[in-house]
Every structure is written in structure tokens, then in C-alpha cells.
């Protein structure tokens, strides 16, 4: 929407103040966008590292579990895994990345009681699978935290980018154009007034002669 204004010096002064504020805001928003992008890239790299580790551990755990199921009966596997090896909990909080509130998940492992089953009737592959899945839990919690942070930062980058573009390509050019138009109009009025004064002076001079 175009800026409405009156061609007066007071209005031009007001628009110049708005332009100065918009220019400062534009710089601050650009700096925020650039820093958010930098933080976003850091989290994306961490997300990739975690995902690769999780996928590798998951693959190893599933291979061991498949072999265990092949060497043990289904009821024996189900009975062995009826009870958890250890209790654990996750504390849910929040943190700030620049002005963005992101989740903070803290994995708190409980006291380990070893394997939840006896060695009789179970295979070593099942032991390996349970161990690998135990390693996976804190990584999965961190991966969930990092992925959500990446999503929130991506949304913030997009919002900031739109604001920067609105200032850079709409607001600031409109203010500059309005100030230029008012300046031209004031100069034109001043030239008109000067011309009228000169004509009046010539007329008065002619009467005196």
C-alpha cells in the first residue's frame, strides 16, 4: 500500500524519521537473519551426525534382534523382554536460540540392573540387541530435540526474510520516493514564490518610475 502524505516540510521531516527507523530496523533484521542462519546450519550439521549414528546403531540392533529371534522361540524372546533393563526419564524444558524458544530435553538414565533376564535360554545376540537399543535412547532424545530446533529456526528464518524483504523492497523505497516527491514539490513551490516576488518587485518598481 502506497504511503499517503502531505507535501509539507513537517511531513517530510516525519517521513525522514520513519526512513531512518526503517533503515536501522532493516539492518538489525538482516543481522538477525544472518545469525539465525549460522545457528541453523550448526544444528543441521548436528542433526545429520546424530541421524547417521542413530541409523547405524538401529541397523546393528535390528540385525542382532533378527538373529536372536531366529535362534530363540518367539515366547522366549517375549518373556525375556517383558521387563525393562532400567528405568529412565526425560526432563522437558526450553531454551532460547536468539529470540526463538526451542525445546530442551534432558535424558536421565535410572540405575541399571543389568539385563532383565537370565542367561539360560537366551542368546548373546539378544544381549547385543538390548545393549544397542539402550545406547539408542539418549541419541533419539537428542535427535528429537535438534530436529524440532531446526524446524523452529527454519520458520524464524523465513519470517525474518519476509520482514527484511518488506523493508528493503517496499517500505524503504516508498519512503524514499515520498520524501523525493515532497522535496520536488517544495522546491517547485519555492521557485513559484520567488517568481511571484520578483514579478511583484518589478511591478512596484515600474509604478515608482
The whole-number pLDDT of residue 1 equals: 57
pLDDT (average), residues 174-192: 87
Q: Is residue 130's pLDDT more than 70? A: yes
pLDDT (average), residues 128-142: 87
The whole-number pLDDT of residue 202 equals: 65
The whole-number pLDDT of residue 209 equals: 61
> What is the tens place of the pLDDT at every residue in 153-178?
999 999 999 999 999 999 999 999 99
Write the Ramachandran bin of 106: left for phi over 0, alpha for psi from -120 to 50, otherwise beta: beta
| Nearest CA-CA partner of 67 in 152, 125, 144 | 125
The whole-number pLDDT of residue 99 equals: 87
The whole-number pLDDT of residue 196 equals: 76
pLDDT level of residue 142 (50, 70, 90 thresholds): very high
Q: 23 vs 75, which has greater pLDDT?
A: 23
The whole-number pLDDT of residue 103 equals: 94
Global pTM reads 0.77
pLDDT level of residue 186 (50, 70, 90 thresholds): confident
CB 130 within 8 A of CB 113: no
pLDDT (average), residues 180-192: 84
Q: By mean pLDDT, which of 3-12, 128-137, 200-209 is the weakest?
A: 200-209
Q: Which fold has domain 9-208?
A: Helix Hairpins (1.10.287)
In whole angstroms, give the CA distance from residue 146 to residue 107.
14
> What is the tens place of the pLDDT at every residue in 78-96?
777 776 666 778 899 999 9
Q: Grid coordinates standing for 207?
A: 509604478
Amino acid at each position: 500500500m502506497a504511503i499517503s502524505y502531505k507535501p509539507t516540510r513537517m511531513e517530510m521531516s516525519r517521513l525522514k524519521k520513519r526512513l531512518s527507523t526503517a533503515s536501522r530496523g532493516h539492518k538489525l533484521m538482516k543481522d538477525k537473519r544472518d545469525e539465525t542462519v549460522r545457528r541453523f546450519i550448526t544444528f543441521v550439521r548436528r542433526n545429520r551426525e546424530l541421524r547417521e549414528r542413530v541409523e547405524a546403531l538401529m541397523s546393528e540392533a535390528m540385525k542382532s534382534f533378527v538373529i536372536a529371534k531366529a535362534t530363540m522361540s518367539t515366547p522366549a524372546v517375549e518373556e525375556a523382554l517383558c521387563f525393562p533393563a532400567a528405568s529412565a526419564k526425560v526432563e522437558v524444558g526450553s531454551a532460547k536460540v536468539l529470540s526463538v524458544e526451542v525445546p530442551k530435553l534432558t535424558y536421565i538414565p535410572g540405575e541399571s540392573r543389568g539385563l532383565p533376564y537370565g542367561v539360560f535360554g537366551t542368546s548373546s545376540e539378544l544381549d547385543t540387541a538390548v545393549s544397542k537399543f539402550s545406547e539408542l535412547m539418549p541419541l533419539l532424545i537428542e535427535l528429537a530435540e535438534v530436529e524440532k530446533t531446526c524446524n523452529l529456526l527454519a520458520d524464524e528464518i523465513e519470517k525474518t526474510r519476509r520482514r527484511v524483504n518488506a523493508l528493503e523492497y517496499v517500505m524503504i523505497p516508498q519512503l524514499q520516493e515520498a520524501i523525493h516527491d515532497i522535496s520536488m514539490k517544495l522546491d517547485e513551490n519555492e521557485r513559484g514564490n520567488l517568481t511571484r516576488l520578483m514579478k511583484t518587485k518589478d511591478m512596484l518598481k515600474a509604478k515608482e518610475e
